[in-house]
Amino acid sequence: MGVVALSGAMRRFDASFVERYRRRRALEDFAAAADAGSGASLRATSRQGESGGGALVQPPAKVRVLGVDTSLRCTGLAIVDSVGSDVRFVDARPIPNGPRKSIPECLVSIADTLERYIEEFRPDEVAMEGIFFCKNPRTALVLGHARGVVVLGCARHGLVPSEYPPTRVKRAVTGGGSATKDQMQRMMQRMFGLPDLPQEDAADALAIAVTHCHDRRIAAMASNYGGIR
């Protein structure tokens, strides 16, 4: 009886160990794929845990994400839908503010356009480029004005932006942190099968939204596999 009981315990241990190993590898592969910029081609498989963990938490069927690349003269806006493991293009456009517009006029333009954009597309979440170092104090101040308008506009709709550093966004969609504007545009065109090259600020906004979708899926995977040692 003792030998039989020990054999059963060993089988349960082996099954638990193998399942934990498979889950750990799945999470590592998923994170690596996201950082390599696999974008809309990512696929994730969830399973019922054999070690008593119960059903894994599933992300919502669809989450609409607004990406914002903030700038006084040309803020980029983009909308994508995160559906399961896919990221689907919905819209991307810039908010151009010509050089003759004063700073207050530019801020009003950003605020009004963002308001209409949110009302039109009804995003569930927002992502924007995080604060980065500026050598020119005036440039930093002006960018701060534009960021404040975007954050306030989102807050009026109950949306709190998630922020991502520029290098993180570039690494997520191209695999490297020093991608050029042209490379970002071409990657977004290729990822979503767009007929034309997106405007550069709109392409950056798309990339920010894609990065957010990657990170939220990785967070969901980490939550599911949170018990792994």
The torsion defined by the Cα of 205, 189, 86 and 39, in degrees rounded to 10, comes to: -80
User: Residue 80 in contact with residue 87, Cβ under 8 Å?
Assistant: yes
- From first to last of its 229 residues, the chain has per-residue pLDDT tens of 444 443 444 444 444 444 554 555 555 554 555 444 444 333 333 333 333 444 455 555 799 999 999 999 999 999 999 998 899 999 999 999 999 999 999 999 999 999 999 999 999 999 999 876 667 788 888 999 999 999 999 999 999 999 999 999 999 998 888 899 999 999 999 999 999 999 999 999 999 999 999 998 888 777 666 544 4
Cα atoms found within 13 Å of the Cα of residue 134, Cβ hemisphere only: 11
**Residue 130 Cα distances to 99, 143, 181, 188, angstroms:** 24, 11, 17, 20
Q: What is the pTM of this model?
A: 0.72
- Torsion angles phi and psi, residue 12, rounded to 5: -65, -40
Catalytic residues: 69, 129, 201
- Predicted confidence at residue 51, as pLDDT, reads 38
Give pLDDT, residue 26. Answer: 52
End-to-end CA distance of the chain: 32
Alpha carbon distance 69, 201 (integer Å) = 6
What CATH number does the domain located at 1-229 have? 3.30.420.10
DSSP-assigned beta bridge partners for residue 57: none
**Cβ(143)–Cβ(134) below 8 Å:** yes
Q: What is the pLDDT of residue 37?
A: 45
The residue whose two tokens read 């590898």 is 25
| Token pair of 214 as six digits | 């990657």
